[in-house]
Amino acid sequence: MTDSDDRFGMMAAGAPVLMWTSGPDKGCTFFNKGWLDFTGRALEQELGDGWSDGVHPEDLDRCLRTYTDAFDARQEFTMEYRLRRHDGRYRWILDRGVPRFIPDGAFAGYIGSAYDVTELKEAEERSRQILEAAPNGMIMITREGAITLVNRAVEEVFGYARDELIGRPIEMLVPERSRAQHRDARTGYLVAPERRTMGAGRELCGRRKDGSEVPVEIGLTPIQTSTGTFVLASIIDISVRRKSEQAAADAARQVETERQVLDAVIENLPGLFFMLDRQGRRVRWNKERERVTGYSAAELRTIPTLTQVAPEDRESLAAAIERGFREG
């Protein structure tokens, strides 16, 4: 063992991370105290490929394949896997390995550092579940406009599977005629990112996989991370709202048309016409009633109906009105 190996061993012993080294034959040659305390195993049990005994069976093949492929290519690697802790519970580990070379350039193996990222993974899973359950489409993009994350609602709105979107430019979801303007707006937004809503009160369209367009409203939220600024876009398909608004407008026009027709019919009825509500108040009448009775519209609105009837007829008229309401 060289002096440099001794110095490395002393530094690694107190490091707050799990550390390991391997030789040129892929076998592990060292694990620091942090690793041994985590696994609860002796150094002799971990050396060579003994460390793999603690890897979760579902992760083992993938873990060894990643390690072997990187080793053969002399490349750095990063992998996540579940490692059994001293209490028997499996914890998620983020492991990064870097090739080592001695001064003459000969390959000497790998040095690695690993971190327990279980809490982070659990938080990511909770966030993913919330994201998947969101009724709005959710898309995360980089500063360069590359899509890094989408949820189920995005797939439903635009007709793409998520693997068709991840890594692709966000402009693929914008009609071709608007893409240049969208790129300029995206660049400008990232200069001074803030919460913003796009499309409210005006036409804003997205482009589906089949080429059709869908009216949308988009909320933008900047996300600051250690690797830079991302933008989270919340997308609402407002085509249903537009259809509802159109249906309501059509219904209102129909009601107005029917009211106008009814008014015309009432005004052309021969004789006096009026309508009463349940309290006996007049709610509709024709001009002929105003002319014959001499009462103005304001008076007809406020004077009780029965006061305009001869006293000896009021009781029978009241009974007839009540019977009409009761029996239809």
Q: Which tens digits make up the pLDDT trace of 270-284?
A: 676 667 676 666 666
Show the domains of the chain with their CATH numbers: 3-121 (3.30.450.20), 134-237 (3.30.450.20), 269-327 (3.30.450)
Summarised one tens digit per residue, pLDDT across range 18-40 is: 999 999 999 999 999 999 999 99
Q: In this predicted structure, what is the pLDDT of residue 227?
A: 65
- Reference 30, options 84, 116, 111, 100; nearest CA is 111
Q: In this predicted structure, what is the pLDDT of residue 226?
A: 65
Q: In this predicted structure, what is the pLDDT of residue 283?
A: 62
Summarised one tens digit per residue, pLDDT across range 206-252 is: 999 999 999 998 888 888 776 678 888 888 888 766 666 666 666 67
- Give the separation between CA 283 and CA 289, rounded to whole angstroms: 13
Q: In this predicted structure, what is the pLDDT of residue 1?
A: 47
Query: Residues near 277 by Cβ (< 8 Å), separated by ≥ 6?
Result: 283
State the pTM of this model: 0.49
Q: Is 181 exposed, middle or buried (0-12, 13-18, 19+ CB in 10 A)?
A: exposed
Q: In this predicted structure, what is the pLDDT of residue 88?
A: 96
Q: In this predicted structure, what is the pLDDT of residue 49?
A: 95
**Positions of the chain with pLDDT lower than 50, given as ranges:** 1, 3
Q: In this predicted structure, what is the pLDDT of residue 188?
A: 79
Looking at the DSSP bridge assignments, the partners of residue 210 are none
